[in-house]
Amino acid sequence: MSYRSDIIDVLIEEKHLELSEKDHAFDVLNQTSTSNSPWYIQLLIGGGAWLASLLFMIFIGFTGVFNDQVSYIILGAVIVVITLALSMLTHRSSSLFLEQVLLAASLTGHGSLILGLAGQYTEQTIIIATAVIFLSTINILLYKSLFHKLLATWGFLLGSAIFMYELGFAQLPLMVFFLLIPSALMAWMWMNESRFVVGKWAEIGKPILYALTLYVLYGARISEQLSWIVHDFLNRDGDAIVNAALYIKALGVGYFIILAYVISAILKRLKVSLISFLGVGLILVSAFLSAAFYQSSSILVALILLLIGIERGNKILVPLAVISLVAFYSEYYYNLDLTLMKKSIVLASSGLVLLLAGWLTNRLGERT
């Protein structure tokens, strides 16, 4: 663990902090270290809130007083407005109790509102999608809770995808768009992390970053499953799309570009030229991996996340990426249409290539 004094000393030495500001800086650092609750306590709070909001919704369902869709919409809207107002009024408060009550009530309100809209406008999905986009934007901009913003980011992406589908965009290009654009945004935000977790962007940047990360990782996974099941990608009018395979390859090319971007950003920081032996080698390796795994884009996403996690020293990203990489890679081989004998040869030879690469990397490092 880095001592607080190390940070202060470096800042003073490089004249970014006056000596007179030293005590204030220590206070800020100490306050930060004690105000961020551990993830398992946040999980406890979130779990309790989810359970409570589920019970509240069951209660509302049983009352029978609000027995039509319009009542649900009105009730939901009222709860959302009240919890939003309270959240803004108590912005500076660090009360866990209040935070949890607001979270449970807010989830109940949003659930009621969206269920009411879904029931009222069953044939007009675009209205529901618009409402979800609007609510999500409000949540991202105005709610204090990280969990709210995280859910809202997913809601925004889902609502936008449905909105664009209702406008007439076909499933497959939409899928590619809604995977590649968030992936590129996520990679860019992580590589410029301090722009988004410092200053005015901090409250919005951090939850969006994590929401995008989880969305991208499991979105890629779900899209793979869909592409195995759905053989004929249709547009909204029911016409089959030709060259569906082209869009799948586009995903591979897209992820290669993102992977290459991450590698080039890392090399730039380490002052290694992209056109050096190492730089070219790494780009070629990433091109090879993208070509090999273009039909299993979740593997590429996990690899991108692993590189980002190591580069940013993120204790959540690295294990998440490692576990995902192992799981997705194992499933990839399990689903390969090869005999056990051929699989064993492919696996063993891939392993030997990687071991050789590891040995070369180790020797190169020892030499330099």
Partner 1 sequence: MISLPKNLSVDKSGLFQLASELPLSRKVVESTLESIGGLPDREDWHGWLTVILYGLGTALFLAGVIFFFAYNWEQLERFERFALLGLGVVISATAAYWLGLEKLSGKLWLTTASIITGVLLATFGMVYQTGADSYVLFYSWAALIAPWVIAARFQPLWLIWLVLVNMAVLRWAYIVKPSFLDPENFLHQLMLLGFVINAVMLLVRETTSLIHLDPATGRWLPRIIAASLLAGLTAIPVEGIIDDDQGFAWSILLGLYFITLVSIGYFYVNKRHDLVMLTLAMISIMVVLTVGVIHTLFENSFDDGMFFITGIIIILETAAAAAILMHFYKKWKVEEEYNELS
Q: Of 8-37, which residues contact partner 1 (CB under 8 A)?
A: 10-11, 14, 16-17, 21, 24-25, 28-34, 36-37
Closest approach, Cβ 186 to partner 1, in A, equals 18
Task: Compute the least distance from the CB of residue 210 to partner 1, in Å.
Answer: 13
Which residues, 73 to 132, sit near partner 1 by CB under 8 A?
A: 96-97, 100-101, 104
- Indicate whether 315 belongs to the interface with partner 1 (CB under 8 A): yes
Q: By CB under 8 A, is residue 348 in contact with partner 1?
A: yes
Q: What is the DSSP letter of 241?
A: P
Closer CB to partner 1, 11 or 74, in the complex: 11
Query: Does residue 195 touch partner 1 according to CB under 8 A?
Result: yes
The answer to the question of residue 306 lying near partner 1 (CB under 8 A) is yes
Angle between helices 4-13 and 22-35 (to 10 degrees): 140
Nearer CB in complex with partner 1: 141/355: 355
DSSP 8-state assignment for residue 168: T
Verify binding: residue 63, partner 1, rule CB under 8 A.
yes
Q: How far is it, in rounded angstroms, from Cα 73 to Cα 111?
A: 10
- Alpha-carbon torsion angle 132, 224, 314, 93, nearest 10: 20
State how far the Cα of 60 lies from the Cα of 71, in Å rounded to an integer. Answer: 11
CB of 329 to partner 1, least distance (A): 8
Interacting stretch for partner 1, rule CB under 8 A, among 80-88, 156-164, 178-186, 309-317? 309-317
Q: Does the protein bind partner 1 through residue 268 (CB under 8 A)?
A: no
Give min distance, CB of 24 to partner 1, in A. 8
Among 41, 88, 291, 323, binds partner 1 (CB under 8 A): 41
Q: Which of residues 327-346 bind partner 1 (CB under 8 A)?
A: 333, 339-341, 343-346
Burial category of 367 from C-beta neighbours within 10 Å (exposed 0-12, middle 13-18, buried 19 and up): exposed
Q: Does 49 bind partner 1 (CB under 8 A)?
A: yes
Residue 281 touching partner 1 (CB under 8 A) = no
Return the residue of 192, 225, 273, 335 that touches partner 1, per CB under 8 A: 192
Of 117-125, 141-149, 163-171, 269-277: span binding partner 1 (CB under 8 A): 269-277
Write down the least CB distance from residue 8 to partner 1, Å: 9
Residue 288: alpha-carbon gap to chain centroid: 25
Among 19, 242, 270, 275, binds partner 1 (CB under 8 A): 270
State the amino acid at position 333 in one-letter form. Y
Is there binding between residue 244 and partner 1 (CB under 8 A)?
no
Our CB check for partner 1 shows the closer of 272 and 287 to be 272
